[in-house]
Amino acid sequence: MREPLCGTYSPSIDAKGRMSFPNKLRDVLGPEFYLCKGPEIDKQYIAVYSVEDFKEYSAKLYEIPGDIGGEIRRVILAGAEKQSPDKQGRIFIPAMLREYAGIEGEVTVIGNYNKAEIWNPAKLTVDSQIIDPEAYKAAMAGFVF
């Protein structure tokens, strides 16, 4: 198993849609990785998966049966994009994904175990504050490490 993705970074996107992707996350993800819409329907961010994890994720999407499975695959996979950072460590964020996530200028990139996430900083702050403290305590009860 490879190292988990973690940390918070604040790069910016230039007028051409390029951003410097954090070195520490690139080192874990590898020389190529995939960008796609995040899996949560109520949160608009860009998910970043290693090639290996994206293949596994895509295969799991194909296990969702029926029409809803087809719709979910279309929503997530139609905008997926394989990226290879350039020599300066920059990647290109396609316009469709930038618009979906509402990002321009400054962004927040976080590591979230098996994927990185690219967020509009204001949206991440709002979403981070909606965790119910009691639900948080209940979920973490008995969590020992």
What's residue 87's pLDDT? Answer: 95
**CA distance linking residue 38 with residue 61, whole number of Å:** 13
pLDDT digits 0-9 by tens, 117-127: 999 999 987 66
Task: State the total domains in the chain.
Answer: 1
In a domain, 109, yes or no: yes
Alpha-carbon radius of gyration of the chain: 16
Mean pLDDT of the residues in the chain: 92
Least confident of 1-5, 50-54, 87-91, 118-122: 1-5
At 135, is the pLDDT very low, low, confident or very high (cuts 50, 70, 90)? confident
Domain span at residue 117? 8-140
Segment 106-134 mean pLDDT:
88
pLDDT at 128 over 80: no
What's the CATH number where 16 sits?
A: 3.40.1550.20
